[in-house]
């Protein structure tokens, strides 16, 4: 992740030396996820506060390159979902850096409202955890709840990974130097372990021998419920490994123009007269 941020900084320092339209951007909104513990692709259930900041450089009034740093939180709980008897839950902080390209569907600066789409590449860090029945916090990766690292075909997952961010938004032109907006951005992930749930329950005796009693306790929690089964469901489905996890940010943006030159078109940005 350090190499990624260094590369982004070098790119924007180079652009800044020649920049005529350089902006500082703020984000405030929510973060959420879709996966084995939350099957709705988009919902505000389990939403958490998220924030971010970054810079953008406009090549023209149609195209801009942007870098962002965001922090948020994601969580899921079977008690609030469709598989209550599984009784699993997780929470994870999300720290993300990304670089993307924005394409404005109408020329930026010519309309009061300017819709746009974006896509790019991101590096993010996560670390799922849960609380046991006594309220003690445990990070789940070291417990290898599905046998990652000692069961054949199940490698340990990495806590820092790449993602593909994409989404859309709308900018509201407030002045030559300030605009506000709303944006939603999804993250295509390459892991199914954002929530530490992916495949089948392994033999608890193997899990006990390799990771201890706490790993067995937190890998299956149906026995904590009155209506749950006290028998460990070895070999049965715990998650859906075919469908990868997602997370997303949705919220408000605020952008401040730092340099007051012209865009590459050679025309000074002016307060727009049209709404669309």
Average pLDDT over residues 202-216: 97
Mean pLDDT of 230-247: 94
The CA angle 66-67-68, to the nearest 5 degrees, is: 125
Could you give all domains of the chain from N- to C-terminal order, each with its CATH number?
Answer: 2-142+157-198+243-257 (2.40.160.20)
Q: Which of 4-13, 191-200, 237-246, 253-262 has the lowest mean pLDDT?
A: 4-13
Tell me what percent of the chain is helix, strand and coil, each rounded to the nearest 5.
Answer: 15, 45, 40
Question: What pLDDT, on the 0 to 100 scale, is given for residue 274?
Answer: 52
pLDDT at 247: 97
What pLDDT is recorded for position 6?
A: 53
pLDDT-derived band at 67, boundaries 50, 70, 90: very high
Report the distance separating Cα 47 and Cα 177, nearest Å. Answer: 32
Q: Which residues contact 9 (CB under 8 A, 6 or more apart)?
A: none
Would you state the pLDDT for residue 24? 96
Identify the three-state secondary structure at position 143: helix
Mean residue pLDDT of the chain comes to: 88
Question: pLDDT category, 265, cuts 50, 70, 90?
Answer: very low
Q: Compare 149 and 273 and report the one with higher pLDDT.
A: 149
In angstroms and rounded to an integer, the radius of gyration of the C-alpha atoms of the chain is 22
- Find the helix or strand (DSSP H, E) in which 131 lies: strand 129-131
């Amino acid at each position: 992740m350090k190499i990624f941020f260094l590369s982004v900084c070098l790119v924007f320092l180079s652009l800044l030396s020649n920049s005529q339209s350089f902006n500082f951007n703020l984000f405030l909104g929510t973060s959420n996820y879709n996966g084995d513990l939350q099957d709705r692709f988009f919902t505000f259930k389990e939403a958490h506060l998220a924030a971010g900041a970054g810079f953008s450089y406009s090549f023209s009034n149609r195209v801009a390159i942007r870098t962002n740093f965001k922090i948020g939180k994601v969580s899921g709980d079977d008690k609030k979902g469709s598989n209550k008897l599984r009784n699993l839950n997780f929470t994870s902080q999300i720290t993300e850096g990304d670089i993307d390209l924005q394409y404005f569907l109408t020329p930026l600066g010519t309309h009061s409202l300017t819709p746009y789409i974006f896509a790019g590449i991101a590096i993010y860090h996560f670390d799922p955890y849960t609380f046991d029945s006594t309220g003690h916090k445990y990070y789940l990766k070291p417990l290898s709840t599905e046998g990652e690292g000692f069961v054949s075909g199940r490698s340990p997952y990495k806590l820092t990974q790449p993602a593909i961010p994409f989404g859309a938004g709308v900018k509201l032109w407030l002045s030559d130097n300030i605009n506000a907006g709303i944006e939603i951005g999804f993250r295509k992930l390459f892991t199914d372990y954002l929530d530490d749930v992916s495949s089948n329950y392994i033999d608890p005796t193997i899990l006990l021998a390799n990771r201890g009693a706490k790993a067995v306790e937190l890998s299956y929690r149906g026995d904590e419920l009155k209506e749950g089964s006290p028998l460990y469901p070895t070999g049965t489905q715990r998650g859906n490994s075919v469908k990868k996890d997602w997370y997303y940010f949705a919220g408000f943006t605020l952008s401040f123009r730092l340099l007051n030159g012209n865009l590459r078109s050679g025309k000074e940005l002016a307060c727009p007269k049209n709404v669309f």
